[in-house]
Amino acid sequence: MEYTNHYDSPLGGITLASDGEALTGLWFDGQKYFGATLAEGCEQKELPVFEQAHQWLDIYFSGKDPGFIPPLVMKTTPFRKEVWEILLQIPYGKTMTYGEIAGKIAKQKGLGNMSAQAVGSAVGHNAISLIIPCHRVVGAGGSLTGYAGGMDKKVQLLSMEKVDMSAFFIPARGTAL
């Protein structure tokens, strides 16, 4: 059985999902790929993991690093899980490029290189937004590129984390929007 819960954030509603023990999803309501990993027939319920996630979100939206991560279960492919685990290593207030992540994956696999586009797809399908910080991933040269929750939210999240935004730009066109 899968369970859901709701959180009202300063940037809009957030839906959380759990298998009863760990967090399996966290999406801004209506975002791209919203609920893509949710099973049909979820039940709305209060659970200890949702309380932990609400505490994490309260601290995060107060402009501080929560300093802990609620229990997570990544319901995804092995490749996406590798990418998402690298995302968890990006410190609060810092960013990393798709190319840097691709380089880390290539090194882990003993490959000469890895497609930054494949990494981008894995980042874009992150089912546990914010806690697995996909908003901290930027394109080469300072392009903010897309964010499933919306470019405006990505800018607000990075600004809230006090990331120096002077080196970044929002692309005027292309698939990154």
Catalytic residues: 134
Task: With CA atoms as reference, report the closest residue to 101 among 91, 110, 117.
Answer: 117
What DSSP character marks residue 140?
Answer: G
Distance CA 150, CA 30 (A): 10
Q: Is 67 exposed, middle or buried (0-12, 13-18, 19+ CB in 10 A)?
A: exposed
Distance CA 169, CA 147 (A): 14
Distance CA 4, CA 19 (A): 9
